[in-house]
């Protein structure tokens, strides 16, 4: 009798699963994306998408997992064909060189020997000794960046010359001599660095150590003086960026107020999902109210910049979502594209000019797999953004469900036209989306076509590291070539069908709004 009951319950479970998949998952609702095309609400850089390369050695471990492998600036294989092709595909990709250990890096000088790498030492802060960048490696990196066409920004050691008190406050001014020698060497060699950033996560309360806003401002004035002196004969000079830390409204306001003539880019970091071992990461990623929470930081920084009178612009200098290297099969899986693309859309809508993903490769949150260099889903998500989303950001809202996130930009492919980004966080509901556009100039024919790029997880598994584009699994070939990202074409008169747990880019070439002519 007991066995019959067990068999009955088993078949009842199977019936429930089938019923759920054939009924609930087939629910369809209608929705409308509203676009105000009068004026843009923000403007991004052409190379808005940025990624980082870090210093962490293979011994860097979190929660018992060592996820970095050989992805450090000091040891990554610069001849890997997938890495080369992945960067070249962006033409160009912004790359920020930096991270937690950058404030413990010294730069080799002719009279400085030996030049030792980072060594694991639990008694040192963050578990590693001071490390050194050999100029021979700096040469190799710059040759690599030239081959790939990358646009490079370098994070300098901001703790040089300071002492740290028992409360974690950095005492004294920045000793700029070592940084100045690196910058001078770089110029003498003819290497192109597009910006020099000072410090990593030392603003506000800092991460373990911190620098007061007034002192940081003084140090930035010093860096600006060095850049102006060394690049005196250059028509185009590198940008000066700072502070590369977590947003703190009072600290940032004071810092920006004191650097109105010496700072071109204000950089801040985002890890709003919490620690990488959080068991609720996926729940947070799929919660639209949680995703929207970061808007307050973007809004506050935008307000500070407007009121300060500075010409500096905002960048997200580093964002990995979940700190301490992320979480395997979450921050390197399809589900993370929901968070990542929503971040790109939100940041752009608050006039953020560039967004740097932690990392290009390294940890569990890389655009590329840390061990085999193969692209993770977010790599393709980012490449599509780079190719489709233009400079001018359009005011966008969505009606029909709270589970849909919607963003729109003027098209990057043509002067006319717009591109939509639609993110469906619902696991059961397909949304048929229509587009309503204010201030549209002219009309489009029902015979006109739009380009659609539907992104889904392989086999419907949100934690899959494999992306499916328009029904086709994206695979790097044996030569390391990045696969083509091809659209499907639909009539203008057709609604945009957004499947459950999917992301859709839509390029609509025949919508002409005033904001796209500015």
Whether residue 10 lies inside any domain: the answer is no
- Give the tokens for residue 236: 């185009």
Assigned domain for 263 exists: yes
Residue 16 located in a structural domain? no
The residue ranges of the chain whose pLDDT is under 50 are 1-2, 4-25, 443-446
Q: Which of 373, 391, 409 is the last residue of a domain?
A: 391
Say what the pTM is.
0.94
Mark whether 408 and 371 lie in a shared domain.
Answer: no
Q: Looking at the 3D structure of the chain, how many domains does it have?
A: 2
Same domain membership, residue 438 and residue 313: no
368 and 424 in a single domain? The answer is no
Tens of pLDDT along 110-132?
866 789 999 999 888 788 999 99
**Tokens linked to 194:** 């597009």
Query: For the residues of 202-235, what is the DSSP string, one character each?
Result: -STT-BSBB--HHHHHHHHHHHHHHHHHHTTT-S
Measured CA to CA in angstroms, residue 474 lies from 381, 466, 471 at distances of 12, 7, 9
Same domain flag for 123 and 104: yes
CA–CA distance, 40 with 278 (Å, rounded to integer) = 37
pLDDT for res 113: 73
Distance CA 109, CA 96 (A): 23
| pLDDT digits 0-9 by tens, 38-57 | 999 999 999 999 999 999 99
The half-sphere exposure of 80 on its side-chain side, counting CA atoms within 13 A, is: 19
Q: Rounded distance, CA 217 to CA 200, Å?
A: 14
111 located within any domain: yes
Question: Taking CA 201 as the corner, what is the angle to CA 136 and CA 54, rounded to the nearest 5 degrees?
Answer: 35
| 382 membership: H or E segment, kind and range | helix 377-388
- CATH code at position 111: 3.20.20.80
Q: Active-site residues: which are they?
A: 201, 318
Q: Are strands 449-457 and 42-43 parallel, antiparallel or unpaired?
A: unpaired
From the CB of residue 395, how many other CB atoms can be counted at a distance below 10 Å? 17
Q: What is the pLDDT of residue 474?
A: 98
Name the average pLDDT for the chain. 93
Instruction: Kindly compute the dihedral angle of the four CA atoms of residues 152, 322, 367, 125, in this order, to the nearest 10 degrees.
Output: 50
Give me the domain span that covers residue 496: 26-41+395-516
Sign, CA dihedral 62-68-73-74, equals positive
Same domain, 83 and 200: yes
Question: Distance between CA 382 and CA 354 in Å, rounded?
Answer: 12
CB 94 within 8 A of CB 354: yes
Q: Which residue has the tokens 């977590």?
A: 246
Long-range contacts of 223-230 (CB under 8 A, 24+ apart): 223/156, 223/176, 223/179, 223/196, 223/198, 223/262, 224/261, 224/262, 224/263, 226/176, 226/179, 226/180, 226/183, 227/183, 227/196, 230/180, 230/183, 230/184, 230/187
In angstroms, what CA-CA distances link 57 with 23, 53, 67, 370?
A: 50, 12, 10, 12
Residue 489 tokens read as 């074409």
């Amino acid at each position: 009798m007991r066995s019959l009951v067990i068999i009955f319950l088993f078949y009842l479970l199977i019936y429930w699963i089938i019923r759920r998949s054939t009924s609930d998952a087939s629910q369809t609702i209608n929705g409308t994306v509203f676009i105000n095309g009068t004026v843009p609400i923000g403007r991004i850089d052409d190379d808005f998408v940025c990624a980082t390369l870090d210093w962490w050695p293979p011994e860097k471990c979190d929660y018992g997992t060592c996820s970095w492998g050989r992805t450090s600036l000091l040891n990554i294989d610069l001849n890997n064909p997938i890495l080369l092709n992945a960067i070249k595909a962006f033409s160009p990709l912004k790359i920020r060189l930096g991270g937690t250990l950058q404030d413990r890096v010294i730069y080799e000088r002719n009279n400085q020997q030996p030049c030792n790498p980072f060594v694991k030492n639990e008694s040192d802060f963050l578990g590693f000794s001071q490390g050194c960048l050999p100029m021979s490696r700096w040469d190799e990196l710059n040759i690599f960046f030239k081959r790939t066409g990358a646009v490079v920004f370098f994070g300098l050691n901001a703790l040089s010359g300071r002492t740290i008190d028992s409360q974690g406050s950095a005492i004294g001014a920045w000793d700029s001599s070592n940084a100045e020698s690196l910058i001078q060497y770089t110029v003498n060699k003819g290497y192109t660095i597009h910006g020099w950033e000072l410090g990593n996560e030392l603003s506000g309360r800092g991460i373990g150590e911190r620098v007061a806003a007034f002192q940081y401002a003084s140090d930035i004035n010093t860096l600006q003086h060095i850049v102006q002196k060394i690049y005196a004969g250059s028509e185009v000079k590198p940008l000066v960026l700072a502070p590369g830390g977590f947003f703190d409204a009072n600290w940032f306001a004071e810092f920006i107020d004191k650097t109105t003539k010496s700072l071109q880019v204000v950089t801040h970091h985002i890890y709003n999902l919490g620690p990488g071992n959080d068991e609720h990461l996926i729940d947070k990623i799929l919660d639209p109210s949680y995703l929207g929470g970061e808007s307050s930081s973007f809004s506050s920084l935008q307000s500070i910049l407007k009121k300060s009178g500075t010409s500096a612009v905002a960048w997200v200098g580093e964002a990995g979502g979940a700190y301490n290297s992320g979480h395997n099969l979450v921050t390197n899986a399809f589900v993370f594209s929901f968070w990542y693309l929503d971040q790109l859309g939100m940041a752009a809508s608050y006039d953020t000019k560039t967004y740097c993903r932690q990392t290009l490769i390294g940890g569990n949150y890389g655009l590329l797999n840390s061990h085999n260099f193969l692209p993770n889903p977010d790599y393709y998500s980012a490449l599509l953004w780079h190719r489709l989303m233009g400079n001018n950001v359009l005011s966008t809202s969505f009606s029909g469900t709270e589970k849909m996130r919607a963003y729109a930009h003027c098209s990057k492919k043509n002067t006319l036209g717009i591109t939509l980004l639609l993110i469906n966080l619902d696991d059961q509901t397909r949304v048929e989306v229509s587009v309503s556009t204010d201030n549209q100039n002219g009309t489009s024919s029902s015979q006109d076509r739009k380009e659609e790029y539907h992104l889904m997880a392989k086999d419907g598994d949100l934690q899959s590291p494999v992306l499916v584009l328009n029904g086709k699994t994206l695979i790097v070939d044996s030569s390391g070539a990045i696969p083509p990202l091809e659209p499907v074409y639909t009539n203008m008169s057709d609604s945009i069908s957004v499947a459950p747990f999917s992301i859709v880019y839509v390029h609509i070439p025949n919508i002409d709004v005033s904001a796209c002519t500015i």
